[in-house]
Amino acid sequence: MSDIFDLILRGGTAVLPGMTLEVDIGVRDGKIAAIGDLEGAGAANIIPCRGLHILPGVIDTQVHFREPGATHKEDIEHGTMAAAVGGVTAIFEMPNTIPLTTTPETLAQKMDIASQSAYCDYAFYFGGTAINARELPAWENLPGVCGVKIFMGSSTGDLLSATDEEVRAVLANGQRVVAVHAEDEMMMNENKKTILGNSNDVRLHPVWRSPESCVSATTRLLRIARECGRRVHVLHISTAEELAVLTQNRDIATCEVLPNHLTLAAPDCYDRLGTHAQQNPPIREQRHQDALWRAVRNGLIDILGSDHAPHTLDEKAKTYPASPSGTPGVQTLVPVMLNHVNEGRLTLERFVDLTASGPARVHQIAGKGRICPGYDADFTVVDMKAKKEITNKQQKSKSGWTPYDGMKVTGWPTATIIRGQVVMQDGEVSGLPCGQAVRFKETLKPENPEAAIVPMARTRQQTG
């Protein structure tokens, strides 16, 4: 093995599969080439990492970047720039952005834009509906597609699949994982008449979009998934009751939780933030948050995603319920969760499982999700002792705000490295957009096998 590398990360504490060690990491041709004591090796670029932690690149599997090229809303360039500054190395974009990702043509349009403007790697969910269901077995395997998405609760355009028949049409066609926004549209429509009525009180948001609507949709989804023999991934779990249902269906279902649901709680968040805390499904009372944390700690939760939805401050200032649901989050995911690590709510290794190993496992990502020889050289380098304040001014998103403005945290991303390229260091984006489409094991062609495994170098003593 040559002792000349393109990049060496020197002396950091790396979270490796099954162990956390102080090591050097050598990178060659965009792949991890060696892990261990590389003291005598040379490289074109050496980054001192002593005192820092090196994590597998964080993958945010739920973002919305809105219409490309818009002057006032998000685009892929600014959304992925925010991701890179926040320590995120890859994103999966949801289909309810303009244009809707429901045909090969709209997918190709987004792939083309991303290939020219993305600062991190990317993939796109295909929007599944009864209208395009028969085409999904072929379309779900197109390059850059991470899976299929269903909206059982209201969304943009014709993406709503509210009834059992519509959900079944999608689940009966194809093989890859189907991610689902599980809120019962019919139940919420009734709640809107009887509970919300003409009220403009945002504190009614979690009552209108009730826990019962989530439990109903999730229960219906799991029944249909079992009938169809289809893997489903239930997004942004927000209720204690859903967790009990999911526990009984782990053979067919995985699930996700958001930093917002783990960090903010009603009614305080609505009293402090008003519509800036409004999202779907809603942020709920403390008992639900407590249950979500128990699920994080006991391993029930598979993935942590941001659900980045960059509505502008002007849009959010509309009178509820005309105000849109959703908050920015891709840039704050890492620091908010590192603060939870430092406050003892989860371990750093569990954070890595939720943001790297989990996404790779659920979505069968090829060559990402762990620090291992032969894998993509994707790293989120963090300073676990750094004390910072999150501010609106820091945000690279076009929305220009965060619900965590003014929050003081301990733990901060210091570098984002994607396939061996330093994309962000000390808060500054370096170079031109270099993002590429994420690859998936289920769609790999025989002529594109996984990279060969390279033997590990000797390691230093394990650190505490």
Q: What is the 3-state secondary structure (H, E, C) of the chain?
A: CCCEEEEEEEEEEEEECCEEEEEEEEEECCEEEEEECCCCCEEEEEEECCCCEEEECEEEEEECCCCCCCCCCCCHHHHHHHHHHCCEEEEEECCCCCCCCCCHHHHHHHHHHHHHHCCCEEEEEEECCCCCHHHHHHHCCCCCEEEEEEECCCCCCCCECCCHHHHHHHHCCCCCCEEEECCCHHHHHHHHHHHHCCCCCHHHHHHHCCHHHHHHHHHHHHHHHHHHCCCEEECCCCCHHHHHHHHCCCCCEEEEECHHHHHCCECHHHHHHHHHHCCCCCCCEHHHHHHHHHHHHHCCCCEECCCECCCCHHHHCCCCCCCCCCCCCCCCHHHHHHHHHHCCCCCHHHHHHHHHHHHHHHHCECCCCCCCCCCECCEEEEEEEEEEECCHHHCCCCCCCCCCCCCEEEEEEEEEEECCEEEEECCEECCCCCCCECCEHHHCCCCCCCCCCCCCCCCCCECC
The pLDDT of residue 99 is 87
The pLDDT of residue 116 is 96
Phi, psi of 217 (to 5 degrees): -65, -45
- Measured CA to CA, the distance from residue 36 to residue 266 in angstroms comes to 47
- CA of residue 200 relative to chain centroid, distance: 31
C-beta separation of 58 from 88 below 8 A: yes
C-beta separation of 372 from 18 below 8 A: no
Residues 233-270 pLDDT 10s: 999 999 999 999 999 999 999 999 999 999 999 999 99
Cβ contacts of 267 within 8 Å, gap of 6 or more = 203, 285
Start-to-end C-alpha separation, the chain? 30
**CB-based burial, 207-244: b 16+ in 10 Å, e otherwise:** bbbbbebbbbbbbbbbebbeebebbbbbbbbbbbebbe
- One of 3.20.20.140, 3.40.50.10860, 1.10.10.60, 3.40.50.10330 is the CATH number of 57-363, namely 3.20.20.140
The pLDDT of residue 98 is 85
The pLDDT of residue 70 is 52
The residues annotated with a catalytic role in the active site are 307
Q: What is the mean pLDDT of each run of 10 residues along the chain (464 residues)?
A: 87 97 98 96 97 98 76 84 98 93 95 96 97 97 97 81 97 98 96 91 97 98 98 98 97 98 98 98 98 98 97 95 95 98 98 98 98 98 98 96 98 98 96 96 72 39 37
- Measured CA to CA, the distance from residue 122 to residue 57 in angstroms comes to 13
C-beta separation of 295 from 287 below 8 A: no
Cα-based angle 452, 455, 459 (whole degrees, multiple of 5): 145
Distances (CA, A) of 386 to 24, 102, 411: 22, 43, 5
How buried is 406 (Cβ within 10 angstroms: 0-12 exposed, 13-18 middle, 19+ buried)? Answer: exposed
Give the pair of three-digit tokens for residue 19: 């162990």
The pLDDT of residue 156 is 59
Closest to 125 measured CA to CA, from 152, 93, 154, 98: 93
